[in-house]
Each structure stands twice: as C-alpha cells, then as structure tokens.
C-alpha cells in the first residue's frame, strides 16, 4: 500500500517525486519505459526560458518565471549542470519591433525583471555572428541552458535516495477506484491513496481510466539538428526569432556541453510514437536558422533527432485535483514545462498539503553528486596521451573521454540502466562525432559484467517497440545540403 503513486518518470514526475520525498510517506514512481526521461524530457531544447513569452494570466505565465528563478538552487543541490547565458529574441523590421515591445510588456506583467530592448550596434557587439539584417532584439539575462535528461536523472536519483521506489517497465494498464486506487501494470498491482498523473503524451489515456474526459493531448513533433562539440562557440546566447501562434520558432543555441543545436519546427501529428526526422524538414530548419546566424556550417552536423510535445486542447498547463477525489492531473506540460518544472513540483506539493498534513522525512538529503562535469577544450587529453589509456580501457569513449570509472558510477546510483543510450545520457559516452561507433561495444561489455547478464541482452536504446524512429543521419545531410 502506497500513499502516493506518480505515473510517469519524466522531468515533471521525477521532480515531484523528489519534492514529496521530503515527507515521511510511501511513494512509488511508475515508468513504462526501461529508464527515466524517455519522453519529451529526453528530446527538447534544454532551454530554461525567461518567462516573458507565456501569455499573461495563464498557468504557464505564473509558473515559468518562478521556475526559472529556482534553477540556481536546484542545480547547487543536484549538480546536473546549469548555465545562464541569456537570450536574444531578434527582429528584422518595424513590424517585428512592435511584436518585441509587446513581448516586453507581457514579460513585465509576468514579473520578469531583466528585459532590455537592444538595437543593432549593441546586438552585434554581444553576438558578433548574428545576421547583419537584424535591427532589434529583446535581451533577457535570466535565460539558461541545461541537459534536460540530466535534470531528470538527477531528480530521480535523489528521490530514490530519499525513499521513493522506482518501477521501470511498468506501463499502467488499468486503474480502479474504490476506497483506494488499484493500479494495474504489466508486472504488478499497486494500491494507493493518491495518484499524480504525469504521463505526458499519455496523460489523457491515464485520466480516461478513471472516467476523466475533460481534456485531450495533441502530439506536436519538433525536429532538431545537433552539431559538433565546441561548435556551440559560434553563439553566445540563445537566439530566438519573433514568436508566432505556432511557437517560438527555430532557435539557435549552444547546449550545456557546448554543441550547437538548431530547431525545432512544429508539426501536429497523428501518432504519439513518431520520432522520425525528414530531410525536407531539416533543410527548412537549417534555412530558417540562417536568418539568425548565417554562417552555420552544415558539415559540422552530428545527428538529427525529434521530440514530441504534449500539447493539450486547453493550450495551458493542467495542474489540479480532478473531479475524482485524490486523483491529481499534471498534464499538457509543453514548453515552458522544463523551465516551470520545479515550480510545478511545489504546486503539486501544496495541493496535497491543503488536503492533509505529512510528517517531515528527517533523513531527507537534497544533495546529489554529479556524474560528469563539463569539459573545456583545455581539459581534454591530447591524442598521444589518450591512446594508451584507450588500449587498457581506462577510457571507454574516445570522443568525450569518458572513463570506465564514470560509467560504473552511473550504474551504481539506484536506477537500473541496461542500455547503451541510458549510459550515453548519464556519462556522454557516445555523444561525440563518431556517435558511439567506437565505444558502444565497450559500454555493452561493462553493463553485461556489472549486471551479470549476457551481452546480447544489452540494448542499444531503451525505446519500446512500435516507435517510429527513422532519423536522417549525418551522411544523408552532407550529401543533400548544399
């Protein structure tokens, strides 16, 4: 018998689990996949937004800036890696200037403090590679960058350390309500007093199981292109174009680990499993990105990928106790969901505390040690220094220079990781230009030995069968982009 079951171990579910682990209650975190952070939390822009663009008066507007301001403390405790690099929303003409001024007005209403309207001379000074046609920009110093899956993993690890039980491969099949909720999964039946529905794209399906049908999820796909490490130095800030009704448009940014990334587009799709990318869409993204930074070199591309956002028909976050007592929906969490995540966790905590009192967990520890630190170019070993260490397997990944010790550390943190992709997200082994061609077999060998399982059972990635995952690779892009 559990006090609370959280369905979905993305960034929202994992941070809620961590927040509630402050109390002396029994919590289960259920995830249908083989690992945490396998949905939208794995494939998004990794931007901690400034809070100025969410329409004033919406739940997004109330939680976005609040969440942004919580990230410094959150990172100091969980060590996932966070950097405030600021953003520019760029405009090219007088019509864009009107939109930018409205953006500032909206941001001020939302409580955002660090907003400035810049003109061309100042823009070129702080962002030398910006398009010469740019005339105006809204600058926000609060905007930051993270690896979204590292935030999720860190939160889940800390929640587990504080007593939360994580159940992977545990897709919810049915929920029945009597005195308590009876939650049936593929592996086990659970009983609980409360359910918190954080199932992302499938939150409507979970809600339907208890008779809630007042919202539905519209899957919206966004495709991205990722470039070589340190090519992120081509920009100093997150570069947005003037937003439209379809979203914030194509952005250009460095990632936390200093790759360059461009995207996404926005496509409403018919299936929640289509994570494919297309050459036509990637070309369009590339062309649009050059409106911001004209000299992006497509030859630096490493890979393409896609993520699916859980847009609700209400076009705002849904965070509330439903008409079914003790069933809390946390649904429709699209952008700026990652930004708002810590504030969402607190909001859910308050919903529960308004219903009853929980005793504090006296053993609660908010701290979690990092797995990998961001490396500068100067911190990398030379090829001459690295070669003998690869031969004796001290270093497993050549591109990212990841040691065996780091991989073993990642395996020892309370979450079972039996895929190369799971290790990749935790340690960056396989994120270099060779995309795991050198290290994948080595990583499989370590996983096999650690869990004492046959090496052929170690998967490349943890995605469930049925997912459409056809991605345009680097070779196709190099052949077709001119």
Ordered domains of the chain (ranges, CATH): 85-143+219-312 (3.30.9.10), 377-412+419-457 (1.10.10)
Inform me whether the pLDDT recorded for 125 exceeds 90. yes
Yes or no: say if 86 and 145 are a contact pair by the CB < 8 Å rule.
Answer: no
Contact in structure between 81 and 370 (CB atoms under 8 Å): yes
DSSP summary character for residue 300: G
* Residues classed as catalytic: 49
Structure confidence at residue 465 (pLDDT):
43
What global pTM score does this model have? 0.96
Q: Would the pLDDT of 249 be above 80?
A: no
Longest dimension (CA), the chain: 67
Q: How many CA atoms, within 13 angstroms, populate the side-chain half-sphere of residue 117?
A: 15
When mean pLDDT is compared over 374-383, 442-451, 472-481, the highest value belongs to: 442-451
Rounded Cα–Cα distance for residues 96 and 354 (Å): 45
Backbone torsions φ then ψ of 301, nearest 5 degrees: -60, 140
pLDDT in tens, 363-403: 999 999 999 999 888 898 998 899 899 988 899 999 999 99
Q: Return all residues near 215 (Cβ < 8 A) that are at least 6 apart.
A: 204, 207, 312, 313, 314, 318, 329, 331, 332
Would you say 343 and 66 are in contact if contact means Cβ atoms under 8 Å apart? yes
Burial class of residue 261 (count of CB atoms within 10 Å of its CB; 0-12, 13-18, 19+): buried
How many angstroms separate the CA atoms of 428 and 374, rounded?
10
Task: Tell me the pLDDT tens digit for each residue of 161-191.
Answer: 999 999 999 999 999 998 999 999 988 999 9
pLDDT at 245: 61
DSSP-derived pairing of the beta strands 327-331 and 87-91: unpaired
Give me the pLDDT at residue 160, please: 98
State the Cα–Cα distance between residues 351 and 417, nearest whole angstrom.
33
The rounded distance, in Å, linking the Cα atoms of 463 and 448 is: 19
Q: At what angle do helices 420-427 and 404-411 cross, to 10 degrees?
A: 110
Hey, is 58 helix, strand or coil?
coil
Backbone angles phi, psi at 103, to 5 degrees: -65, -45
């Amino acid at each position: 018998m559990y006090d609370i079951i959280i369905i979905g171990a993305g960034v929202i579910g994992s941070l809620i689990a961590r927040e509630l682990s402050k109390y002396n209650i029994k919590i289960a975190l259920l995830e249908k996949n083989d690992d945490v952070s396998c949905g939208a939390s794995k494939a998004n822009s990794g931007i901690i937004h400034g809070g100025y663009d969410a329409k004033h008066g919406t739940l997004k507007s109330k939680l976005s800036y609040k969440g942004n301001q919580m990230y410094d403390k959150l990172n100091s405790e969980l060590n996932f890696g966070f950097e405030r690099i600021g953003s520019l929303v760029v405009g090219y003409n007088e019509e864009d200037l009107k939109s930018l001024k409205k953006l500032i007005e909206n941001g001020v209403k939302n409580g955002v403090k660090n907003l400035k309207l810049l003109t061309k001379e100042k823009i070129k000074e702080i962002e030398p590679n910006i398009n010469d046609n740019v005339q105006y920009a809204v600058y926000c110093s609060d905007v930051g960058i993270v690896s979204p899956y590292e935030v999720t993993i860190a939160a889940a690890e800390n929640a587990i350390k504080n007593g939360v039980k994580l159940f992977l491969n545990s897709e919810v099949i049915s929920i029945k309500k009597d005195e308590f909720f009876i939650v049936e999964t593929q592996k086990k039946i659970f009983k609980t007093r409360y359910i918190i529905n954080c199932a992302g794209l499938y939150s409507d399906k979970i809600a339907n199981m208890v008779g809630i049908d007042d919202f539905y999820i519209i899957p919206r796909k966004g495709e991205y292109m990722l470039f070589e490490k340190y090519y992120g130095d081509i920009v100093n800030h997150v570069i947005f174009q003037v937003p439209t009704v379809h979203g914030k448009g194509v952005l250009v940014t460095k990632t936390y680990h200093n790759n360059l990334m461009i995207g996404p587009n926005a496509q409403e799709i018919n299936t929640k499993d289509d994570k494919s990318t297309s050459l036509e869409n990637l070309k369009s993204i590339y062309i649009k990105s050059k409106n911001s930074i004209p000299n992006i070199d497509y030859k630096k591309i490493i890979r393409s990928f896609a993520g699916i956002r859980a847009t609700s028909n209400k076009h705002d976050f849904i965070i509330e106790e439903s008409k079914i007592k003790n069933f809390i929906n946390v649904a429709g969490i699209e952008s700026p969901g990652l930004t708002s995540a810590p504030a969402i966790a607190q909001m859910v905590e308050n919903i529960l505390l308004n219903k009853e009192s929980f005793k504090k967990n006296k053993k609660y520890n908010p701290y979690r040690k990092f797995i990998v630190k961001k490396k500068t170019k100067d911190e990398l070993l030379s090829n001459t220094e690295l070669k003998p260490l690869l031969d004796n397997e001290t270093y497993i990944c050549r591109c990212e220079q990841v040691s065996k010790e780091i991989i073993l550390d990642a395996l020892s943190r309370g979450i079972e990781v039996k895929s190369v992709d799971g290790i990749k997200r935790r340690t960056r082994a396989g994120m270099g230009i060779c995309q795991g061609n050198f290290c994948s077999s080595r990583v499989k060998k370590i996983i096999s030995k650690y869990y004492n399982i046959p090496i052929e059972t170690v998967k490349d990635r943890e995605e469930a069968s049925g997912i459409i995952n056809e991605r345009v690779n680097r070779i196709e892009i190099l052949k077709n982009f001119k």
